[in-house]
């Protein structure tokens, strides 16, 4: 019932799979104690979270599972299946502040230049994917699943359907617009002639996959293969790293957090604030280079 509601609201298959896995794990725990998951009291949920810690799971994993339970019990309360929400007084496990892995602006430029020298239709597609990703910071699932209708008629904007089925508009840079136009000239050649998934012609990046569009795994592998050509280690390059790089570079060059939040599709600005570490480093560098007393030796 809970997962059906999420699916009806447009939740991605990966999200549904993650929630389903978390709830099955929790149900196994409660069933072993002769309780159905939906009837679990707060004390049992605390025991469950404690068991995750004792099993050596990271604080991040425990926090994610608690987030799933919060949404599950909030749903049960709203549907009047329960008269209370046992997760309201539970604190999330403490997590260390993880700084996203990034590429420098020069390294992203090297990656783009390496893609530019690729020949043929594959090169044009890769260039379009890279330019869109670095221009917009889309999640990889949003990027590969872009429909043709998501591209505005003038080619200046993308309409993106993000988490929870929420739509947002993001602008395309001039290099991204040019790369997309070059790719559109060969896009038809990627549409399978036989055995195609329904709706494949509606995809911006069509392929033979069961979804009808380029898969996340395939795009990730394309980046891994490209990295050495740009002088980068393959393990440093991924769609998520480029999303982080986009956000950090944009913020470092003067973008405000609210605009960045909108472009990234974050529901909570607290998620976007992780990128303020860029400003911290920028300010430290500025003070070290420009302050009149920065290079004056300290008198003893």
Which residues are tagged catalytic? 139, 163, 240, 243, 266, 275
DSSP string, 143-190: HHT-BGGGB-TTSSEEEEE-GGG-EEEEEPPHHHHHHHHHHHTTGGGG
Residue recorded with tokens 């260390």: 96
Q: How far is CA 238 from each of CA 130, 232, 234, 264, rounded to the nearest angstrom?
A: 11, 11, 8, 17
Instruction: Quote the CA–CA distance of 37 and 44 in Å, as a whole number.
Output: 10
Q: How far is CA 57 from each of CA 48, 93, 100, 134, 261, rounded to the nearest angstrom?
A: 12, 11, 20, 33, 30
Which value, in Å, is the radius of gyration of the alpha carbons in the chain?
A: 23
Question: Who contacts 265 (Cβ-Cβ below 8 Å, separation ≥6)?
Answer: 139, 142, 160, 162, 163, 166, 168
User: In the structure encoding, which two tokens stand for residue 111, read together?
Assistant: 């990656």
Residue 283's Cβ-side half-sphere holds a number of Cα atoms within 13 Å equal to 7
Q: Are 111 and 226 within 8 A, CB to CB?
A: yes
Q: Are 171 and 156 within 8 A, CB to CB?
A: yes
Query: Per-residue b/e over 34-57, b at no fewer than 16 CB within 10 Å?
Result: eeebbebeeebbeebbeebeeeee
At residue 213, what are phi and psi to the nearest 5 degrees? -135, 165
């Amino acid at each position: 019932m809970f997962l059906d509601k999420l699916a009806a609201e447009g939740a991605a298959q990966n999200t549904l799979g993650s929630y389903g896995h978390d709830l099955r794990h929790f149900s196994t725990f409660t069933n072993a104690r002769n309780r159905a998951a939906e009837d679990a009291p707060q004390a049992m949920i605390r025991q469950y979270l404690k068991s995750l810690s004792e099993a050596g799971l990271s604080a991040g994993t425990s926090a994610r599972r608690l987030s799933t339970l919060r949404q599950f019990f909030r749903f049960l309360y709203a549907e009047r299946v329960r008269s209370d929400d046992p997760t309201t007084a539970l604190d999330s496990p403490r997590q260390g502040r993880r700084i996203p892995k990034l590429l420098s602006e020069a390294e992203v430029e090297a990656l783009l230049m390496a893609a530019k020298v690729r020949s043929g239709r594959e090169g044009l597609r890769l260039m379009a994917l890279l330019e869109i990703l670095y221009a917009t910071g889309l999640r990889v699932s949003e990027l590969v699943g872009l429909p043709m209708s998501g591209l505005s008629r003038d080619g200046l904007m993308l309409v993106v359907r993000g988490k929870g089925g929420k739509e947002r508009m993001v602008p395309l840079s001039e290099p991204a617009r040019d790369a997309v136009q070059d790719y559109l000239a060969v896009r038809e050649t990627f549409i399978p002639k036989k055995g195609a998934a329904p709706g494949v012609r509606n995809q911006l990046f069509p392929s033979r996959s069961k979804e009808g569009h380029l898969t996340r795994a395939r795009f990730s592998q394309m980046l891994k293969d490209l990295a050495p050509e740009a002088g980068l280690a393959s393990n440093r390059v991924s769609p998520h790293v480029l999303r982080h790089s986009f956000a950090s570079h944009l913020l470092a060059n003067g973008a405000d957090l609210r605009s960045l939040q909108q472009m990234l599709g974050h529901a909570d600005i607290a998620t976007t604030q992780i990128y303020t570490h860029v400003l911290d480093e920028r300010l430290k560098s500025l003070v070290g280079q420009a302050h009149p007393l920065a290079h004056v030796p300290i008198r003893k």
